């Protein structure tokens, strides 16, 4: 009887131990819920008086700490530490624009000059120029008559200029870019200058972004689009495109891209630290953030640089590199406007590593490349429930998504989201994430919302349950042996 009592006491002790172990693990898991201090970036939100629903711009410093491509590690806390309802706004939520539209195609009319005092026959119109290429009158033929006519014979001695005219007077659109159909030399930059006039006498220069180019090879970079720095109204205007000093260029036609009726918010930019050289033809970066990258701006450190490049990336260190884009990096300080390359679109790639490789058989410019990332603007709309002050927090590995659909925040229509009152940010705190290297490594293979700490706690709980089962099994065997 005494032995049986002893065995029962051991069984009760083992059961109590299991209950305590389960309770302790449960409390630890509950404590693992995100707190404001767990995030690497946080700031106090200043909400306008009497406002219950507001929005706030997420600054670039916060985006540089974001650890989820889907903005899962974003929270808005009230003074009690509770997460208030919030929604992530971006892309279409922040801008409502009409679909991209283009004009009709306009044919190019070459410009030519005549020698001496000789003038072309009927059918040619004088154009006043004052450029390095030609000063005074040159000519354009609007009517393309049969080459056997006398007018064509008279123009046979004319010299073609490196320029062409386009008649866009009847077009009522405002343009943001010019799509060109042309022949041009390969593996070289072709600067194109643009000017506009209402009378073919007085010309106004039009600022553009970057030159045209076409490189040889599979997936080689190419650009036949002249982006305009400012939208251009072309009604009642002629366009003159020139390429002085560039042989082998034949301009055939032009199509205009209609400027959007609503301008997009400016992208957020941040310079990356110097990359790691991989031989002479590649440079690598390990990114401390998972924020989707809208574009990458590569700049040569050394002047007079020109090299085609491939931009590659991967979401995990164990994955192979995949090509994201191809471009040309150039820096020509003596050229003037358009002397360096624009940013290259990456279309929202979320990356762990970034790599830039020079074209086959080429090397990167001396001094390497400077890289600047561009992020699409992000806003957070939130319901100011509970007592303030409220805190915006960003940057925590392995954090489950908590944002709700914007339609659940209230009766605000999607078109009205961008009209919500803006909250201000104060008392910004930036800290090194508390997770160690093991946490960061585990974040690459654990599911979203599952932290390494949670996994370890469940492992401890599992081991405790197994130990409890072993004790119970041993006691049962002892009781059976005593009973026999």
Tell me, yes or no, whether 106 and 187 share the same domain.
Answer: yes
Domain-located, residue 331:
yes
Burial of 2 from C-beta contacts in 10 A (0-12 / 13-18 / 19+): exposed
The band of 171, judged by pLDDT with boundaries at 50, 70 and 90, is: very high
Structural domain ending residue among the three candidates 375, 391, 425: 375
CB 168 within 8 A of CB 239: yes
Instruction: Indicate whether 157 and 196 sit together in one domain.
Output: yes
| pLDDT tens digits along 421-447 | 999 999 999 997 654 444 444 444 545
Is 27 within the bounds of a domain? yes
The predicted structure's pLDDT at residue 435: 47
The answer to whether residue 231 scores a pLDDT higher than 80 is yes
On the CB side of 297, how many CA atoms lie within 13 Å of its CA? 16
In the chain, the number of structural domains is 4
Domain range spanning residue 312?
268-375
Please check the confidence at residue 151 and state whether its pLDDT lies above 50.
no
- What's the whole-number mean pLDDT along residues 224-241? 95
HEC string of 267-279 equals CEEEECCCCEECC
Q: At how many degrees (to 10) do helices 2-31 and 452-483 cross?
A: 170
* CATH number of residue 182's parent domain: 2.60.120
Same domain, 233 and 295: no
pLDDT at 213 over 50: yes
Specify whether 107 is located in the same domain as 249.
Answer: yes
Asked, for residue 457, whether it belongs to a domain, the answer is no
Does residue 455 form part of some domain?
no
Asked if 319 and 390 sit in the same domain, the reply is no
Measured CA to CA in angstroms, residue 287 lies from 76, 249, 275, 351, 453 at distances of 25, 41, 10, 7, 24
C-alpha to C-alpha distance for 347 and 292, rounded to whole angstroms? 8
Residues 146 and 218 in one domain: yes
The answer to the question of residue 263 being in a domain is no
Q: Mean pLDDT for the chain?
A: 82
Comparing 466 with 453, the larger pLDDT belongs to 466
Share above pLDDT 70 across residues of the chain, in percent, rounded to a whole number: 72
At 437 the pLDDT is 42
Cα–Cα distance, 257 to 228 (Å, whole number): 10
Residue 60 lies in a domain: yes
- Angstrom CA distances, 452 to 212, 312, 368, 398, 464, stand at 51, 30, 38, 8, 18
- The reported pLDDT for the residue numbered 112 is 84
Residue 168: pLDDT band (50, 70, 90) is: very high
Enumerate residues 6+ apart whose C-beta is below 8 A from 463.
Answer: none
Q: What percent of the chain has pLDDT over 90?
A: 59
Averaged pLDDT, 2-22: 50
Same domain as 468, residue 441: no
Asked if residue 381 has pLDDT above 80, the reply is yes
Judge whether residue 199 has pLDDT over 50: yes
Residue 318 predicted with pLDDT over 50: yes
Of residues 145 and 133, more confidently modeled: 133
pLDDT at 290: 96
- Range picked from 149-163, 272-286, 417-431, 460-474 for highest mean pLDDT: 272-286
Pick the more confident residue, 121 or 253: 253
Shared domain for 20 and 41, answered yes or no, is no
Condensed to tens digits (0 to 9), the pLDDT of residues 178-196 reads: 999 999 999 999 999 999 9
What are residue 196's phi and psi, to 5 degrees?
-130, 150
Instruction: Please tell me whether residue 355 adopts helix, strand or coil conformation.
Output: strand
Q: Decide if 340 is inside a domain.
A: yes
Domain stops at, among 375, 409, 436: 375
Do residue 296 and residue 236 come from a single domain?
Answer: no
| Among 33, 90, 84, CA closest to 63 | 90
CA distances from 346 to 295, 354, 371 (A): 5, 11, 13
CATH number at residue 295: 2.60.120.260
DSSP 422: B
Q: Which pLDDT score, from 0 to 100, does residue 21 have?
A: 47
pLDDT at 339: 82
Reported as a single tens digit per residue, the pLDDT across 330-375 is: 998 765 555 889 999 999 999 999 999 999 889 999 999 999 999 9
Residue 456 included in any domain: no
Rounded to an integer, the average pLDDT of 101-105 is 93
pLDDT above 50: residue 220:
yes
Last residue of a domain, one of 223, 258, 293: 258
| 348 and 360 assigned to the same domain | yes
Cα-trace Rg, the chain: 33
Residue among 293, 362, 369 nearest 329 (CA) = 369
Mean pLDDT over 57-79 rounds to 96
Q: What is the per-residue pLDDT for 234?
A: 96
Over range 20-29, report the average pLDDT: 46
Tens-place pLDDT, residues 467-480: 666 666 666 666 66
**pLDDT score for 210:** 83
> What pLDDT is stored for residue 416 in this prediction?
76
Query: Which pair of structure tokens corresponds to residue 25?
Result: 């693990």
Both structure tokens of 416 = 């009205």
Do 236 and 149 share a domain, yes or no?
yes
106 with 253, same domain: the answer is yes
């Amino acid at each position: 009887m005494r032995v049986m009592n002893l065995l029962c006491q051991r069984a009760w002790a083992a059961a109590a131990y299991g209950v305590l172990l389960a309770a302790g693990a449960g409390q630890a898991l509950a404590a693992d819920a995100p707190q404001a201090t767990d995030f690497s970036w946080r700031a106090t939100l200043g909400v306008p008086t009497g406002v219950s629903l507001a929005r706030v711009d997420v600054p670039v410093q916060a985006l540089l700490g974001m650890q989820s491509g889907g903005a899962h590690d974003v929270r808005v806390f009230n003074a009690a530490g509770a997460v208030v309802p919030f929604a992530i706004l971006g892309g279409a939520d922040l801008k409502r624009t009409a679909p991209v539209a283009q004009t009709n195609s306009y044919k190019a009319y070459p410009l030519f000059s005549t020698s001496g005092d000789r003038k072309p026959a009927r059918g040619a119109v004088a154009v006043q120029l004052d450029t390095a290429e030609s000063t005074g009158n040159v000519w354009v033929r609007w009517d393309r008559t049969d080459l056997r006519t006398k007018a064509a014979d008279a123009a046979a001695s004319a010299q073609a200029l490196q320029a062409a005219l386009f008649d866009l007077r009847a077009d009522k659109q405002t343009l943001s870019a010019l799509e060109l159909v042309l022949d041009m030399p390969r593996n070289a930059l072709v600067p194109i200058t643009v000017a506009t006039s209402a009378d073919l006498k007085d010309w106004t220069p039009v600022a553009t972004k970057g030159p045209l180019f076409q490189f040889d090879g599979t997936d080689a970079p190419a650009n036949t689009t002249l982006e305009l720095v400012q939208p251009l109204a072309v009604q009642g205007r002629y366009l003159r495109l020139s390429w002085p000093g560039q042989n082998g260029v034949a301009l055939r036609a032009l199509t205009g891209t209609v400027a959007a009726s609503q301008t997009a918010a400016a992208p957020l930019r941040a310079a990356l630290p110097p990359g790691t050289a991989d031989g002479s033809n590649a440079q690598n970066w390990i990114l401390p953030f998972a924020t989707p990258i809208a574009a990458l701006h590569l700049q040569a450190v050394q002047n007079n640089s020109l090299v085609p490049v491939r931009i590659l990336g991967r979401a995990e260190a164990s994955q192979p590199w995949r090509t994201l884009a191809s471009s040309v990096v150039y820096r020509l300080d003596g050229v003037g406007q358009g002397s360096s390359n624009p940013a290259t679109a990456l279309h929202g790639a979320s990356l762990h590593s970034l790599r830039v490789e020079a074209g086959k058989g080429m090397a990167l410019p001396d001094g390497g490349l400077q890289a600047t990332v561009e992020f699409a603007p992000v806003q957070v709309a939130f319901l100011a429930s509970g007592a303030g002050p409220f805190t915006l927090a960003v940057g925590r590995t392995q954090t489950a998504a908590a944002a709700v659909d914007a339609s659940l925040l209230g009766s605000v229509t999607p078109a009205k989201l961008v009209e919500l009152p803006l909250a201000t940010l104060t008392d910004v705190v930036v800290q090194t994430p508390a997770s160690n290297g093991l946490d960061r490594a585990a974040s690459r293979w654990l599911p979203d919302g599952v932290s390494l700490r949670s996994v370890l706690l469940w492992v401890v709980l599992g081991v405790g349950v197994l130990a409890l089962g072993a004790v119970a099994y041993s006691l049962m065997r002892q009781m059976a042996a005593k009973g026999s």
